[in-house]
Structure formats: structure tokens, C-alpha cells
Chains A and B, each alone.
Chain A
């Protein structure tokens, strides 16, 4: 499945699941039936479920739903596949026969006596594990696809020896710090260029002073050994609002906007790589 299709499936499934988990007593089985139709109509989700429940057997009426004479409760199997099978069988029967969900929900103990709470308590106990399982599997597949699609070049620096007073590690250390050096240089270049552009613009507004202060904050922090990310973020926000309100009549306004936008992007990459 393509990455975009996976994302759409994830969104649709989560929307239907949220509606089902928030079901109201007067809506009956409506949202549960919609969720069921979606699961049955989506080959990808069917595949996920089939992989999980393959080879499992459980009689949900006697082994999953336990009745102690008064209240019913769920006996969750240890094996996850068996659990999913039991949930699906019960879920399909509920929606097949269009049983009154209130009647079913009332059999399970709930701390509240409001009908909506009773229905939601039952639905959550029954289908939440299934929803979590499918959502997590879709997310994992999205992560795998994104990893494969990421074909950017990585620069690795190999350091053979580790010097210092505390030699805890031994062997080779791989460090991708060439990115950070390039970003710092670029940030310094952009800040110098922006200062020149602001001077040439001849703008004497008070916001220009704040803009220049923000540029100084960024330069100080990216060149420091322990940059303060909070200060960089605040300065970037200040720069963002400055270019939003910058009058376009100023002769160097376009250059200021372009360089500021690039500065914001490079500074963000610097912060991500610095972690």
C-alpha cells in the first residue's frame, strides 16, 4: 500500500473508532456497524487481522464472556491473537443481529448509572484493544514506509580513538556532526546578510531593533558550546512575526523575507540535529 493511502486509511479508521468509542445510547449500534463495514471493506486491515488471528480458536461465549450470576465480565486471554479473535467474534455477532446495545452494555458493571456512560464503558472494554492493535500496526507500517523513502545522504565521521580522562567507550565512534558545522556557518552568513539588508532598507521602526536582537540571540546560541533551544525558538518566533508585518514598500523587503525564511529553516534543522 502507498504511504498516502496508509495515512488516509489510518485517518478514516481512527475517525470511525472514535465515533464508536463515543457512542450514545440512543444511536444504537450505528457507529459499531459503520466500523465493522469499514473493517470488512478494507483489504489492508483484513490482512492485518488475518495475520494476527490465524490458527487461533476460542468460543467467546464460554471463554471470553464470563457470567457470575449477576454481572458479566470479560476474561481476557493471555495470547493476543486469541483475544482479537474473541473480540471480533463478539463484535460481529453484536452488529450482525443488530442487538440493542443498551441491553448488552447493562450486563457489565459500570460505576455510573448514566446510559451514555454504561454504553461507552462496555464498548471501550470490548473494542478498544482491537482499535489500539490496528492503529499501532498502521502506524508501524507508515514508519517503515517513511524510513524506506528517506534516501537522503548521511555524512559519517569515523573517530578511531577515544581520548579523555574517562574512556568508557572503546572501539569506533560514529558521529554525524558535519551537518551541524555547515548549518552554523550558514546561519552566521544569513544573519550577516540580514543585518546588511536591514541597514540598507533605512527602516527605523522599533520592531527593527527587536529583529536585530533576535538575530544576535540566534548567533550567540548557535556558536555557543551549549546552545539554549528555548531562546533560539523564541527568537525564531520573533523573526517570523517581524517578516509577517514587514511593509513590502521597503526596497530590500523581499531579500529580508527570503533570507529570514531560510534562516528559520536552517535554525530548525540545527536544533533537530543538535539533539
Chain B
């Protein structure tokens, strides 16, 4: 069973990520991180420079969103199952079943708002990252190749 959801990028096509080590937030261009020609198994945090699998860089909001979608799916399946049982049981004259369907969680589309981060380009691989300007001007690391920008 696969559940898919999409995250809308900001006005320049950047999507938010969060470092599992230092919990800093940064943005990567959706078209570059999700590329059919080049698949990135792991990326580097631009602030602390440590690497991990891409899935560990999802923000807390994205993980919560995924959990909510999974819960809704579970509620739907439970409602179907109990609905079916109740229908069969209520045909009998001896036993009746009452049940209350579970209410789904209201899930909204995820979107990334524009923020104060600035875009920096790596001179090695020409990929882009959005970080805070003061950090980018001093020293940040490229999320794709790990060199310092």
C-alpha cells in the first residue's frame, strides 16, 4: 500500500528540508533534488556539513502530514470493515449493532511559503541551495556534493 502526497514549492520552486543532526532548515530546488536522471540517495546539510539519507531530511511537518494521511487511510478501512459487519448483523432479528464511524483528520495540501533565505549556487556541481544569507556568505556546504560553497 503506497500513499503519495506532494509538497508545493515556494515561488522559485524550492522545498523545505530539515537537518536530522542540527535541526537547521534549508531549501532545495524541487527540480534538482527530484531528478529522473540523477537519483540522490543522500544529501549534506548546508549548515553542519554532515550527510544522511534524503528521507531523514524531511521536515517535521512533512512527517506529520504523512502520518495524518496514513491515519485517514486506516480510519477509512476500519469504517468500511465495521460498516460491513453492522450491515450484516442488523439483518438479524436477535442481535443489533450500533457503531459510530471514525472521523477523518482534516488534511490540507502542503505548501512552502516564501522566506528570507537566499539562493546560493555550488561552483562544483552548479546545483542550488537556499540558506540564510549571513551563513551563505560565510561558509555553507553544497547539499549535493558536500563541498563548501
User: Footprint of B on A, CB under 8 Å?
Assistant: 7, 10-11, 14-15, 17-18, 21-22, 124, 128, 131-132, 135, 139, 142-143, 230, 233-234, 275
Q: Does B133 contact A (CB under 8 A)?
A: yes
User: Footprint of A on B, CB under 8 Å?
Assistant: 11-12, 21, 44, 48-52, 119, 133, 138-139, 141, 146-148
CB distance B12 to A230 under 8 Å?
Answer: yes
A-B Cβ contacts below 8 A, count:
41
Q: Which residues of B lie under 8 Å from residue A143 when comparing CB positions? A: 138-139
CB distance A234 to B12 under 8 Å?
Answer: yes
Measured between alpha carbons, how far is A10 from B139 in the docked complex, in Å? 12
- Min Cβ gap A113→B in Å is 20
Q: Which residues of A lie under 8 Å from residue B12 when comparing CB positions? A: 230, 233-234
Measured between alpha carbons, how far is A15 from B50 in the docked complex, in Å? 7
A to B CB contacts below 8 Å, 6 in the list: A10-B49, A14-B146, A17-B50, A21-B21, A128-B21, A139-B148
CB distance A14 to B139 under 8 Å?
Answer: no
The 3 closest A-B pairs by CB, nearest first: A18-B51, A14-B49, A18-B50
Measured between alpha carbons, how far is A7 from B123 in the docked complex, in Å? 14
- With A7-B148, A131-B50, A233-B12 as contacts: A14 and B21 at CB distance below 8 Å: no
- Min Cβ gap A270→B in Å is 14
Known: A11-B147, A143-B138, A233-B119. 4 other contacts (CB 8 A): A18-B52, A135-B50, A139-B49, A230-B11
